[in-house]
Amino acid sequence: MKRKLIVLFFGMISVLWTILAMASEEKDKWNVSVTVPCIYQETGSAVASIEGRPVQIRRTTGVGNRTSTEGLGDIILKGGYDLLEEPEQPFNLSAVAKIKLPTANKDDGLGTGEFDEGVGLEASKRLDSRWTFLGDLYYTFIGSPLGWI
């Protein structure tokens, strides 16, 4: 899976490319997964990638000081339990807990250098043989690295 996100910070554009490698396993109503992101980001501001989104961590001086960096992002481990499963025209609802491991280089802004934890719900509804609606709702407890605004 590959995605590109462009974000505007105080008149400076940041570009973030993320390629995700994912693996998952399901047994009965339980499931676990691991997500390993590889990140390329180009920015004119001091940002860190948090769950695939660039977040400004401090203001920088001087316009035109663009930097780019790339590398391994923070690995996310996730486990869930299926609360509801329908056999026909399935609607599935799962309770999920996740933890982000600080595997990214925080000095390059690819991560925060802190563990983050989260809890939430994931839902899916098959609309027909070709279309499935996916949705999730999470609350994430973000670590607090030094130097954040």
In terms of pLDDT, which residue wins out, 130 or 42? 130
Higher pLDDT, 68 or 31: 31
Cα atoms in the Cβ-side hemisphere of radius 13 Å centred on 104: 33
Q: What mean pLDDT comes out for the span 46-68?
A: 64
Domain boundaries, the chain: 2-141
Query: What's the pLDDT score for residue 7?
Result: 45
Average confidence (pLDDT) over 96-119: 88
How far from the centroid of its chain's Cα atoms is residue 102's Cα? 13
**pLDDT value of position 55:** 67
pLDDT score of 23:
93
CA distances from residue 90 to 33, 103, 130, 132 in whole angstroms, order as listed = 21, 36, 13, 9
* The model's pTM: 0.73
Percent of the chain predicted with pLDDT > 70: 71
Please state the φ and ψ torsions of residue 87, each to the nearest 5 degrees.
-75, -40
CA angle (107, 55, 112) in 5-degree steps:
35
